[in-house]
Chains A and B, each alone.
Chain A
Amino acid sequence: MRLGQLPGRELQRRLQGDGLTLRTGPFGFRLRSPLPLVAQGLAQLYAQMPLIDDGRFIDFSLDIQHGSGLHRWLRPQACFRFDGQAVFEPLPAGHAYPLLEWAMNWCISTHAHQYLILHAAVLERGGGALLMPAPPGSGKSTLCAALALSGWRLLSDELALVSVSDGRIWPLCRPVGLKNASIDVIRGFAPHAEISRVTQGTAKGSVAHMKVPDAHVARMDEAAKTRWVVFPRFQAGASTMLARRPRADTLVELARNAFNIAVQAEAGFHMLADMVEGAGCFDFRYSNLPEAVASFDCLAGGELLPAGRLASTADPLAQTLVVTP
């Protein structure tokens, strides 16, 4: 059964009772919350997610509760609790939905060390995974959302789960977080995309989440091996540019973007080395989203230097490639 098939007010009833148990990627979550924004967000963004039957082991039980004492009514708050204690400082009640998403990220990145967890978006095409690690503000999520709407299968927007046992990346299939200007950019890019209400004034500015296409959720159990590692950077007015990047440097940068590289110790280093060795490594700069998507199509098709479309620059080693209109 899927979340969207729950009848009537069953979703609210479960969230306010023993909890709503759903699976996203390899993880079972039990969510409890009396806040209407949480129910509303889940109903809109997680409709395709499978529910978990009673009596199965659930990985993470988390609560998004009302603020305590006067904060129930006065400047109402939303509080994330795990193992019976508050984890973050309370946020305004209006931020309850993004708080839930951040709380779920926290649960995974602090406990699931069966994966090397990278702060990166992951998409798949033709069986190969595209890994896009990037600091906030780099336009990673915008690009990720656009690619997910343009023929690439979304594995994850925020946390890349690299299995310690076989090095493959496992889908998480949670909604794509969009911030500030990128919300309207994606609305303009794909008017049919399902985007949640916008939460204003969070620590990251205005945030909204985009629903993962149903067909991608249906393939939630298909892992993929890394074929490309691309570091995207949005730069207003810049021409689209894809440039090869040294492998050693890519490894160091990936390690910097790993949540639990210290926990994985030496094995984690070897995992990253294997990953980089088998993948094409690039820097990517863009300002025009359709053009950016087109260059990833070329990357997937293996046509990095086809006549007329992608041409080499003056770089003598032909390591830098630009998209020509």
Chain B
Amino acid sequence: MTDPDRLAQLLGRTGDRWPSAPGDWELLLSQARRARLQGRLAITALAAIDQTPAVPGADGPPGVGLPAHLHSALKVCEQVAQGMRLEAERLSAALAQAGHRCVLLKGAAYLCASLPPARGRLFGDIDILVPQAALAPVESALMAGGWISTDQDAYLQRYYRQWMHEIPPLTHVKRGSTVDVHHTIAPPTSAFQVDGQQLLAAARPVSEDGRFWMLQPVDMVLHSAVHLFAEGEFDSGLRDLLDLQDLLRHFERTESDFWPTLFARAHALGLTRPLHHALHHAERLFEPIVPLAHQAAARAITPARLPRYAMQALLVLALRPNHPGCDQGLTGLARWVLYLRSHWLRMPLSLLLPHLVRKAWLRRFPDGLLSPARAIPPR
């Protein structure tokens, strides 16, 4: 298995042939773990295993070999999802006590609304969206619920609060869960100045009890696109692109006039560029997704040639799992350029340069100059 896009193709296309060589499966599993896609690989592969007698380990002793790895991955996903659901309920209760809505973003929204990307997904932090004016009261409400800002580094606090679209992560003192409180979906200093109030105005309740809210479908897709496109680290880039494909396939069935609404909203929010790249790479790696009738609208959001080609080439490399089996010489450089670019998009040069210098220094000397890095004592 030498094609570095093989994992993406197997997960994002229907009817692709699964490999039969054990070595190929080892590599798929390893790349999937690295891209945080092992749960998704498990669901897709276990569904296909019945038709694939060549799957290694299937004839071995119980609990050994590839099927055991796939089932293990699913168990972990179930545990993480269950924890996430509980934590989201606690979060919603804490917000409700202070009279705030719990508008979930990304993973937490997919899970609580039972949307297709939630299947086999690993969840990390809970992201919520609140009005910018409500940031302070929401932070107090969450502090009362046990979520506090653990990193009291003055620089970090100011960096987030002054320039970012979210406040520093809040971590629960007992349970360790982390909440990212956003007031919009892209940094206000960036090229994408999205008014969070517009997103909140269109948000929908997930269920009738109003415990959870989510962005309206087209906004959810655009958030996923902007996240993928403006991110600096691509460890879960492929996962984000699969999320996006799932959302598109789901909403084009459940929402009337989905595609025209999506393009219109992208224009209105100034997010046509991220949407173009997201669609381009989803179609390149997976399958055609924009219906024939809407391809003219898709072509209309194509950016100018030079930045488009540069960005496409970089993303081709960066969307691959960050795994030695996928690296082709320039991959490391592409990741670095995209990392710089994500910061470039985020803020003007006068802010950016000092920030990057400081980050690089702290990475080299995390505890100051004199204390050596400590080893984590393994068991």
Residues of A within 8 A of B (CB): 26-27, 55-59, 61, 83-85, 88-91, 99, 102-103, 105-106, 109, 111-115, 119, 158, 163-165, 203-204, 262-265
Q: B31 contacts which chain A residues (CB < 8 A)? A: 83
Q: A90 contacts which chain B residues (CB < 8 A)? A: 375
Q: Which residues of B from 296 to 348 have beta carbons under 8 Å from A?
A: 322-325
A-B contacts, 16 listed (Cβ < 8 Å): A26-B64, A56-B56, A57-B65, A83-B31, A84-B30, A89-B373, A99-B378, A105-B379, A113-B76, A114-B64, A158-B379, A164-B63, A165-B62, A262-B79, A265-B79, A265-B82
Q: B21 contacts which chain A residues (CB < 8 A)? A: 55
Complex alpha-carbon distance, A103 and B323, angstroms: 19
Given A26-B64, A84-B323, A113-B75, CB of A55 within 8 Å of CB of B375: no
Say yes or no: B75 contacts A58, CB within 8 Å: no
Say yes or no: A106 contacts B378, CB within 8 Å: yes
Say yes or no: B57 contacts A263, CB within 8 Å: no
Interface centre among B21, B65, B325, B379 (most CB of A within 10 A): B379
Q: A56 contacts which chain B residues (CB < 8 A)? A: 22, 56
Complex alpha-carbon distance, A283 and B363, angstroms: 48
Interface centre among A84, A109, A115 (most CB of B within 10 A): A84
Given A83-B323, A164-B63, A165-B62, CB of A263 within 8 Å of CB of B374: no
Complex alpha-carbon distance, A235 and B22, angstroms: 50
Given A83-B30, A113-B71, CB of A57 within 8 Å of CB of B25: yes
Say yes or no: B378 contacts A115, CB within 8 Å: no
Q: Pick the contact of B56: A27, A57, A102, A263 (CB < 8 A).
A: A57
Asked if B66 is at the interface of the complex by the 8 Å CB criterion, the answer is yes
For the A-B complex, the count of residue pairs with Cβ-Cβ distances under 8 Å equals: 89
Say yes or no: A61 contacts B375, CB within 8 Å: no
Complex alpha-carbon distance, A57 and B29, angstroms: 11
Beta-carbon nearest neighbor of A18 in chain B: B23
Asked if B202 is at the interface of the complex by the 8 Å CB criterion, the answer is no
Complex alpha-carbon distance, A203 and B34, angstroms: 28
Q: What is the CB-to-nearest-CB distance from A322 to chain B, in angstroms, rounded to a whole number?
A: 33
Residues of B within 8 A of A (CB): 21-23, 25-26, 30-31, 33-34, 56-57, 61-66, 68-69, 71-72, 75-76, 78-79, 82, 322-325, 373-379
Complex alpha-carbon distance, A112 and B325, angstroms: 23
Q: What is the CB-to-nearest-CB distance from B22 to chain A, in angstroms, rounded to a whole number?
A: 4
Q: Pick the contact of B72: A55, A84, A111, A262 (CB < 8 A).
A: A111
Q: A99 contacts which chain B residues (CB < 8 A)? A: 378
Say yes or no: B76 contacts A263, CB within 8 Å: yes
Q: A103 contacts which chain B residues (CB < 8 A)? A: 378
Say yes or no: B323 contacts A263, CB within 8 Å: no
Say yes or no: A83 contacts B375, CB within 8 Å: no
Q: What is the CB-to-nearest-CB distance from B5 to chain A, in angstroms, rounded to a whole number?
A: 17
Complex alpha-carbon distance, A33 and B68, angstroms: 27
Say yes or no: B56 contacts A84, CB within 8 Å: no
Q: Pick the contact of A83: B23, B33, B56, B69 (CB < 8 A).
A: B33
Complex alpha-carbon distance, A83 and B327, angstroms: 13
Say yes or no: B26 contacts A61, CB within 8 Å: yes
Complex alpha-carbon distance, A105 and B31, angstroms: 21
Q: Which 9 A-B pairs have the closest CB atoms?
A: A203-B377, A57-B56, A102-B378, A113-B72, A57-B22, A114-B63, A89-B375, A84-B324, A114-B68
Say yes or no: A26 contacts B63, CB within 8 Å: yes
Q: What is the CB-to-nearest-CB distance from B265 to chain A, in angstroms, rounded to a whole number?
A: 38
Q: A27 contacts which chain B residues (CB < 8 A)? A: 64
Beta-carbon nearest neighbor of B77 in chain A: A263
Q: B323 contacts which chain A residues (CB < 8 A)? A: 83-84
Beta-carbon nearest neighbor of B56 in chain A: A57
Q: A91 contacts which chain B residues (CB < 8 A)? A: 375
Beta-carbon nearest neighbor of A112 in chain B: B72
Say yes or no: B63 contacts A203, CB within 8 Å: no
Q: B379 contacts which chain A residues (CB < 8 A)? A: 102, 105-106, 109, 119, 158
Beta-carbon nearest neighbor of B82 in chain A: A265
Beta-carbon nearest neighbor of A262 in chain B: B79
Say yes or no: A204 contacts B375, CB within 8 Å: no
Beta-carbon nearest neighbor of B67 in chain A: A114
Q: What is the CB-to-nearest-CB distance from A51 to chain B, in angstroms, rounded to a whole number?
A: 15
Say yes or no: A114 contacts B34, CB within 8 Å: no
Q: A113 contacts which chain B residues (CB < 8 A)? A: 71-72, 75-76
Say yes or no: B69 contacts A111, CB within 8 Å: yes
Complex alpha-carbon distance, A90 and B373, angstroms: 10
Say yes or no: B325 contacts A84, CB within 8 Å: yes
Say yes or no: B34 contacts A84, CB within 8 Å: yes
Beta-carbon nearest neighbor of A27 in chain B: B64
Q: What is the CB-to-nearest-CB distance from B34 to chain A, in angstroms, rounded to a whole number?
A: 5
Q: B23 contacts which chain A residues (CB < 8 A)? A: 55
Complex alpha-carbon distance, A57 and B21, angstroms: 8
Complex alpha-carbon distance, A26 and B63, angstroms: 9
Q: B64 contacts which chain A residues (CB < 8 A)? A: 26-27, 59, 114
Q: What is the CB-to-nearest-CB distance from B158 to chain A, in angstroms, rounded to a whole number?
A: 30
Q: What is the CB-to-nearest-CB distance from B373 to chain A, in angstroms, rounded to a whole number?
A: 6
Complex alpha-carbon distance, A91 and B62, angstroms: 36
Given A84-B30, A114-B63, A165-B63, CB of A57 within 8 Å of CB of B57: yes
Q: A102 contacts which chain B residues (CB < 8 A)? A: 378-379
Q: B65 contacts which chain A residues (CB < 8 A)? A: 57, 59
Interface centre among A85, A105, A264 (most CB of B within 10 A): A85
Q: A263 contacts which chain B residues (CB < 8 A)? A: 72, 75-76, 79
Q: A59 contacts which chain B residues (CB < 8 A)? A: 64-65, 69
Q: A164 contacts which chain B residues (CB < 8 A)? A: 63
Q: Pick the contact of B377: A61, A85, A163, A204 (CB < 8 A).
A: A204
Given A84-B325, A88-B376, A203-B378, CB of A57 within 8 Å of CB of B66: yes
